Structures are given as structure tokens and as C-alpha cells.
Chain A
Amino acid sequence: GAVVSQHPSRVICKSGTSVKIECRSLDFQATTMFWYRQFPKQSLMLMATSNEGSKATYEQGVEKDKFLINHASLTLSTLTVTSAHPEDSSFYICSAHRDWGTQYFGPGTRLLVL
């Protein structure tokens, strides 16, 4: 099956710092990657669609200046949480599109902002 990696798996940081999360498709090229956020006992919520070589498309209510997305190559997308605050603490998961409607998920990054 398709493999998607995510790094780091866990981050603890102080309020006000920026955190960068990498998402890589290891055995296939992905023109489109997706970034999700999941709070405890809630469903995955799409934050943005990341397109290789172009600007990301953000969902309503997601601040593009706070959650910076860069999709510089067909195998790498990055999400930077700028000036993180405790309310940004969550489980961030990326996915890569491979076949029609099928997305393969990375293992996720747990962010804890103190």
C-alpha cells in the first residue's frame, strides 16, 4: 500500500513559537495533499488542500497566515503553525491523494503548546 510519513510525531513547544510539520509520500507522487486536525473525540476536520506548485486552499475558518502550507515537490508538503497558542494543541494529520477519492494518511503529529 501507499506510504505517507509525517515528522515529527510529537511536539511540545512554548506559546508563541512556530512549529513545522512535514508530510512525505514515500512511494508515490502526490500532486495534492490534505491537512487535517483532530481534537479529542471529534472527527477529522479538513484544514486545507495543498497543491504542488500552487497556493493552498484553506477551509472556512482556518487562518492562512497562521497555518502556512508549502507544497514544493510532488512528495513533500509542510504545515507551519505560526505563533502557536495552547488552543492550537491538537492532532495534525496529513494525507496524500493517490487514486480517485482515496487518501493515504500519515501517522499524525501531536502538538502540545504550553
Chain B
Amino acid sequence: RKEVEQDPGPFNVPEGATVAFNCTYSNSASQSFFWYRQDCRKEPKLLMSVYSSGNEDGRFTAQLNRASQYISLLIRDSKLSDSATYLCVVNDGRYSYNTDKLIFGTGTRLQVFP
């Protein structure tokens, strides 16, 4: 079983649509959770951290359910520029502050069309 599982997609949605991505993780020691965005042939870029209470950043809303070990990302009013692969990322949780590893999901690909 993969440590971080995501639906690979692709999700093809029209501009303006709302789309949700889900992710599950298996490591109960994980304490930090993130969504990264990766464009084709580029490096991952931090989209947002995910907090227990849920958090919102503009059109993006992230939710965390520790009991179910489940993370979600909601994108409202999709833009063409949102087309990318979205990576669910959790920390390993077994290492010290500055050496803690990140565990990446394989990503969910989003394609927004006009």
C-alpha cells in the first residue's frame, strides 16, 4: 500500500467549475500536511499547508480528517491557469524538526478547459 494515495485523474473540468481532490495517508505519525502544485516538467511549488481546523486561501480550501487520515483540496471557480498536477504531501513524523522527510503522493492531474 502506498503511503500517500491519490486518484491520478485526470480531472477535466470547464472554467468556473468546482473540483475536489482527495488523499489518504497511512502514516499515523504524520503531523504536517500540504498540497503542492507541479506544472509539467517543473518543480513542485507549495500551494498551501493543511491545518486540522481546515483552511482557505482564496479559491482553495483544504480539509484534514486525522481520524480517517484523509486530506482534501477544493478548488472553486477553476481557471485555465489551475491546470497542473496537485500533490498531496505529508511529513514522515519520525525525525527531528529540520531533517523530517516529506512523503509525496503521485499527484492528481487537473485540466481546465475553456
Contact = CB atoms under 8 A, between A and B. Distances in A.
Interface of B is mostly: loop
Counting contact residues on chain B (CB < 8 A from A), the size range is: 20 to 34
Given A42-B106, A43-B105, A105 B99 contact: no
B91 A51 contact: no
Given A31-B98, A49-B101, A107-B42, A102 B49 contact: yes
B49 A43 contact: no
A51 B98 CA distance: 9
B99 A32 contact: yes
A11 interface: no
Contacts of B99: 32, 49, 51, 57, 97
Interface of B: 4, 31-32, 34, 41-46, 49, 87, 91, 97-102, 104-107
23 contacts: A31-B98, A32-B98, A32-B99, A41-B106, A43-B4, A43-B104, A43-B107, A44-B44, A46-B102, A49-B99, A49-B101, A57-B99, A91-B41, A93-B43, A97-B98, A97-B100, A101-B32, A101-B100, A101-B102, A102-B49, A105-B43, A107-B43, A110-B41
